[in-house]
Amino acid sequence: QVQLVQSGAEVKKPGASVKVSCKASGFTFTNYFFHWVRQAPGQGLEWMGVINANGGTTNYAQKFQGRVSMTRDTSTDTVYMDLSSLRSNDTAVYYCSSGYTFGDFDYWGQGTLVTVSS
């Protein structure tokens, strides 16, 4: 069955970077787009960007440009999201989601809590 399994919770200090992974299984990895979406405590969903697993091209939300990097490893069917220069308001649950087309979010990972605190 389709699964997206994300890495575990992280605690980071302000100014640091975090790298979250998302391992896919149950479908052909390179046929899909992978989005990253975050949700701050008590808030709604916020789109961060997308990577096309076929070729690795990326598209980032303007808010995160210069601070986010999304990559993929086709040998392990895993995508990664790097967020740098962390601040306290980056504290959120980060989700990966796969979609067959750019606008789709078919399946979701379980989420990774990133806490930024001094």
Binding site for another protein (CB under 8 A): 35, 37, 44-47, 50, 59, 61, 95, 97, 102-111
Sheet containing 78-83: order of strands: 3-6, 18-25, 78-83, 68-73
60 CB contacts (<8 Å, ≥6 apart)? Answer: 48, 49, 68, 70
> How near is the Cβ of 15 to another protein at its closest, in Å?
28
Give whichever of 44 and 89 is closer to another protein, judged by the CB atom.
Answer: 44
> How near is the Cβ of 95 to another protein at its closest, in Å?
6
> How near is the Cβ of 108 to another protein at its closest, in Å?
5
Contact present, 5 and 26 (Cβ < 8 Å): no
Give whichever of 18 and 37 is closer to another protein, judged by the CB atom.
Answer: 37
Give whichever of 73 and 105 is closer to another protein, judged by the CB atom.
Answer: 105
Largest CA distance in the chain: 41
